[in-house]
Copies of this chain bind each other. A is one copy, B any other.
Amino acid sequence: MSAALRVGIAGLGTVGAEVVRLIATEARTLAARCGRPIRVTAVTARSKAKKRGVDLAGIAWAKSPVELASDPEIDCLVELIGGAGDPALSAIETALKSGKSVVTANKALIAKHGLRLAQMAEKHGGALNFEAAVGAAIPIIKTLREGLAATGVNRVYGILNGTCNYILTRMEQEGLSFAECLKDAQRLGYAEADPSFDVDGHDTAQKLAILASLAFGTKVAESAVHVEGISSIAPEDLRAAADLGYRVKLLGVAVRTAKGIEQRVHPTMVPKSSSIAQVMGVTNAVTIDGEGIPPITLVGPGAGGAATASAVVADIADIARGVRVDPFGRPVDRLRTTEKAPMERHEGGYYIRLMARDHAGTAATIATRLAEQKISIESIVQRHPNGGIDAGQPEGKGSPVPVLLITYATHEDAVHRALQAVQRDKVISGRPQVIRIEKN
């Protein structure tokens, strides 16, 4: 059996401690699987004194992440500090420049600096693995990087943020508002004190940028992702979705179009019968539409100490086995540049919710304005005040009544022009709600 792979771990939070524990308890299995032992030889973290519930006896303590990365007694740096900048970044750079391999769960850092780091890894011969950065233990990176080596991807999309899916699930199941569910998510530890990174879609955008690069052979570019969060979603939208055969999910979608790769994160109506619609609570899921084959969907825990550590140790095991795959599936100089696709030219179906001010005739006015923009209507319903729905019959005067529309595929700018006209007609009150539909 060959010499042990010597691992240095920077960051000993929940994930780091679990990685230390797994490598120790599964030592025999890992050695059998990899043909050589894996040993944690050095670690570093902010506080040496903190109790972590794992045995660190015999493991050296480095003064800093960069010192750990320069340690000649480690072959592989595991970065679990987090954050897109230093000290995580300089530690990874130090390790890669000395030919060491790196494993990280840091999506922000990979989304921002992944290309430059991948080039360093190529140049100096180390691996750079980041399975845990997207979907934790769901093997989505490996599937795109290795499992679909010869199969062109037409679309990759999914639920990549457990916080948002938890909030949308509770809003749907209990009829609660976004604000109420967010508060609950914070109380239960599913959302941060400052939830904006999650609920505004930025976490999903970083993960999507990484998946899009792997799927389409493009350069990772968070700036090429159109991003909308879930705070505008109302319980009425979730009820309407259910009535119309849909669910609302915050999706990250990267899709090949005639005009290039479109990358977008926004609340999305998905058919209730689709695999992705079944994914509830903090669970994540990704669907891949490969050229000529039916969709493949991977579902599982997108976060959590044990799930993240599982993926980190699998990445370490690949390095121990001698597996070296280009971090983004091909050499960085083969990755193409991708631009942000303007959403005005997005094509798809739309859900539109309007508050009809004057019931009689409003549906007809709306239908006319949509027809002027050559938008075909799949269904139009007017909701009774009691929550039931009905085929857009006028109800007589009274308080505003919601009108719900589902359109066939059209252009987003056509939808905007039609709704501007409807607003000029003064037949609705408030702003129209518009949610894109993603078909499976």
Q: Is the CB of A217 within 8 A of B321?
A: no
Count of interface residues, chain A, beta-carbon cutoff 8 Å: 56
In the complex, A29 has a CB within 8 A of chain B:
yes
Give chain B residues whose Cβ lies under 8 Å from the Cβ of A29: 149-150, 152, 217, 330
With A29-B217, A30-B150: A294-B317 Cβ-Cβ less than 8 Å: no
In the complex, A296 has a CB within 8 A of chain B:
yes
Of the listed stretches A200-208, A302-310, A426-434, chain B binds A302-310
Q: Is the CB of A296 within 8 A of B293?
A: no
Q: Is the CB of A150 within 8 A of B331?
A: no
Please pick, from B150, B298, B310, the residue contacting A293 in the complex, using a CB distance under 8 A.
B310
Q: Is the CB of B301 within 8 A of A294?
A: yes
In the complex, A196 has a CB within 8 A of chain B:
no
Q: Is the CB of B137 within 8 A of A293?
A: yes
Report A129-169 residues with CB < 8 Å from chain B CB: 131, 137-139, 142-143, 146-152
Please pick, from B35, B131, B148, B300, the residue contacting A294 in the complex, using a CB distance under 8 A.
B300
Give chain B residues whose Cβ lies under 8 Å from the Cβ of A314: 146-151
In the complex, A80 has a CB within 8 A of chain B:
no
Q: Is the CB of A33 within 8 A of B296?
A: no
By beta carbon, the residue of chain B nearest A26 is: B150
Please pick, from B143, B148, B299, B331, the residue contacting A299 in the complex, using a CB distance under 8 A.
B299
Interface centre among A150, A275, A311, A318 (most CB of B within 10 A): A150
With A138-B296, A293-B304, A296-B138: A310-B148 Cβ-Cβ less than 8 Å: yes
- For this chain, the copies found in one complex come to 2
Please pick, from B151, B275, B296, B330, the residue contacting A278 in the complex, using a CB distance under 8 A.
B275
With A310-B290, A317-B149: A323-B323 Cβ-Cβ less than 8 Å: yes
In the complex, A414 has a CB within 8 A of chain B:
no
By beta carbon, the residue of chain B nearest A296 is: B300
Q: Is the CB of B290 within 8 A of A150?
A: no
Q: Is the CB of A149 within 8 A of B296?
A: no
Q: Is the CB of B139 within 8 A of A139?
A: yes
Report A271-326 residues with CB < 8 Å from chain B CB: 275, 278, 283, 290, 292-301, 304, 306-307, 310-311, 313-314, 317-318, 321-326
Give chain B residues whose Cβ lies under 8 Å from the Cβ of A138: 296
Give chain B residues whose Cβ lies under 8 Å from the Cβ of A176: none
In the complex, A187 has a CB within 8 A of chain B:
no
In the complex, A367 has a CB within 8 A of chain B:
no
Report A42-85 residues with CB < 8 Å from chain B CB: none
Nearest CB of chain B from residue A228's CB, rounded to whole Å: 27
6 A-B pairs with least C-beta separation: A296-B300, A149-B317, A150-B313, A139-B147, A32-B330, A292-B306
